[in-house]
């Protein structure tokens, strides 16, 4: 399946809105993300992080504005036409498929030849360091290993953009720290672009090149961890980030 977006330089959200009935979950979100960046969408529960991510993925329609990839509208395309990789909090693996089959599923669906699928699955297994676990079922793996499978499955299709929604929040504190480092390593080695949703300030500060702070469905500030620390936009941002000033 040809993806609409095999290469891109910028993803742009212009005045993106989304409502659910009378609730305005997102209003007027303007944001540009460049190829290669690791961007965190950060904010308290209910601020619109998942809604933003799902609108970018195409899992949710937008109610206003536009989403553009290199200036071309993608908000009218179906999720599979956008071709982005997704990683969810609950892993969303197929319980009856092995690690290898879970990772290869998307390639099979796209009609990629067997030999090429095997090569790319091997590469993804190495990338997420799951060698030796290929024949296991998800139920036989730890939470961290299951999340590694989910990440491998997302990157094996070589997506231009990987979207992660609180991928570590089901893990215990120790695994969370370990997988945090792994996610940044995988981003660097894969050489892709990542949008990472989290409500955890430390996670955003330690992982992201740039942080987008959301509150009540609007962007309050966008900046590098250093910029946010040096000059938070307002008291709310400073307080939420845990910076005293």
Bridge partners of 40? 196, 211
Give CA separation, 235 vs 4, 47, 239, 240, 242, in Å. 41, 17, 6, 8, 10
**Binders in 180-219 for ligand ADP, by CB under 6 A:** none
The listed partner (ligand ADP, Mg ion, none) that binds 215, CB under 5 to 8 Å by sort, is none
Interface residue with Mg ion among 29, 43, 50, 193 (CB under 5 A) is: 50
How many Cβ atoms sit within 10 Å of the Cβ of residue 46? 13
Nearest residue to 49 (alpha-carbon basis) of 29, 22, 21, 32: 29
The listed partner (Mg ion, ligand ADP, none) that binds 51, CB under 5 to 8 Å by sort, is ligand ADP
The listed partner (Mg ion, ligand ADP, none) that binds 131, CB under 5 to 8 Å by sort, is none
Straight-line distance from the first to the last Cα atom of the chain, in angstroms, rounded to the nearest whole number = 52
DSSP-assigned letters across all residues of 17-36: EEEETTEEEEEEEEEEEETT
Is 49 or 180 the residue whose CB approaches ligand ADP more closely?
49
Is 15 or 46 the residue whose CB approaches ligand ADP more closely?
46
Is 121 or 203 the residue whose CB approaches Mg ion more closely?
203
181's tokens: 């480092």
**Binders in 51-70 for ligand ADP, by CB under 6 A:** 51
Beta carbons within 8 Å of 236's beta carbon, 6+ residues apart: 215, 220
Give CA–CA dist 180/64, Å, rounded: 34
Tokens 């212009």 locate to: 14
Report strand pairing: 64-69 vs 38-42.
unpaired
10's tokens: 């910028």
Interface residue with ligand ADP among 20, 73, 119, 126 (CB under 6 A) is: 20
Using the rule CB under 5 A, is 54 a contact of Mg ion?
A: no
Is 50 or 117 the residue whose CB approaches Mg ion more closely?
50
Task: Using CB under 6 A, count the residues that bind ligand ADP.
Answer: 11
Q: How far is the CB of 129 from Mg ion (least distance, A)?
A: 27
Is 50 or 145 the residue whose CB approaches ligand ADP more closely?
50
Q: Among 20-28, 87-95, 150-158, 224-232, which window interacts with ligand ADP (CB under 6 A)?
A: 20-28
**Binders in 35-54 for ligand ADP, by CB under 6 A:** 43, 45-51
Is 19 or 98 the residue whose CB approaches ligand ADP more closely?
19
What φ, ψ does residue 201 adopt, rounded to 5°?
-60, -45
What is the binding site for Mg ion (CB under 5 A)? 50
Chain residues that interact with ligand ADP, rule: CB under 6 A: 20, 23, 25, 43, 45-51
């Amino acid at each position: 399946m040809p993806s609409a977006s095999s290469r891109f330089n910028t993803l742009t959200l212009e005045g993106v809105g989304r409502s659910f009935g009378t609730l305005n979950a997102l209003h007027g979100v303007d944001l540009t993300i460049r190829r290669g960046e690791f961007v965190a969408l950060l904010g308290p529960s209910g601020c619109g992080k998942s809604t933003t991510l799902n609108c970018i993925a195409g899992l949710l329609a937008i109610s206003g504005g536009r989403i553009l990839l290199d200036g071309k509208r993608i908000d009218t395309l179906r999720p599979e036409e956008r071709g982005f990789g997704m990683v969810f909090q609950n892993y969303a693996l197929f319980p009856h498929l092995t690690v290898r089959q879970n990772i290869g599923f998307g390639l099979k669906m796209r009609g990629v030849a067997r030999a090429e699928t095997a090569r790319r699955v091997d590469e993804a297994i190495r990338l997420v360091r799951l060698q030796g676990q290929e024949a296991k079922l998800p139920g036989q793996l730890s939470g961290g290993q299951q999340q590694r499978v989910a990440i491998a499955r997302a990157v094996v299709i070589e997506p231009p953009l990987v979207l992660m929604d609180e991928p570590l929040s089901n893990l215990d504190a120790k695994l969370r720290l370990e997988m945090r480092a792994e996610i940044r390593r995988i981003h660097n080695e894969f050489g892709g672009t990542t949008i990472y949703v989290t409500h955890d300030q430390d996670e955003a500060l330690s992982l992201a090149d740039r942080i987008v702070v959301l509150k009540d469905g609007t962007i309050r500030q966008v900046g590098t961890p250093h910029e946010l620390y040096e000059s938070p936009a307002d008291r709310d941002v400073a307080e939420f980030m845990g910076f005293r000033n």
